[in-house]
Amino acid sequence: MIEALVRPEIETIVEYNGSKKYRAILLNFEDHAFAKNIIDPVSLDFFVKGINSIKDILSRTLIWRSFFEMIKDAKMTTHKFVEVVTTSLQNEPSDSIFERQFDYVSASISTYTPEKYRE
């Protein structure tokens, strides 16, 4: 874990030299503060492929929420999100996470998908 102080600025950049070989970065780990998580491409690839390998339920919740936020920010397509949900959710042990994804999928399709692609 890398701890970083976030100052009241538009952007905070945390530099990492790669020495510990982290495979992904999750901001606001254990939900200690309010922060909008923006997942970098390398971390996104890891989380999409291995969300079920994240043992901590709160961290998985934050990652799933970040996926939905990425749809709202036009950083992930609804199609990609539905694909992640359908491939990963079958192995999700948390009922609350499992159920919440249906809300996210419904909202992403009805609100953030062009009408001609909703079918």
pLDDT in tens, 24-74: 766 665 665 666 777 888 889 999 999 999 898 988 998 999 999 999 999
Residue 14 lies in a domain: no
Distance CA 51, CA 95 (A): 15
pLDDT digits (tens, 9 = 90+) for 70-102: 999 999 999 999 999 999 988 999 999 999 999
Q: Over the chain, what HEC string results?
A: CCCCCCCCCCCCCCCCCCCCCCCCCCCCHHHCCCCCCCCCHHHHHHHHHHHHHCCCHHHHHHHHHHHHHHHHCCCCCHHHHHHHHHHHHHHCCCHHHHHHHHHHHHHHHHHHCCHHHCC
Q: How many domains does the chain have?
A: 1
The residue segments making up the domain with residue 89 are 29-117
Residue 6 lies in a domain: no
Residue 20 lies in a domain: no
Residue 7 lies in a domain: no
Residue 4 lies in a domain: no
Residue 107 lies in a domain: yes
Residue 109 lies in a domain: yes
Distance CA 25, CA 46 (A): 9
Residue 96 lies in a domain: yes
Distance CA 47, CA 60 (A): 9
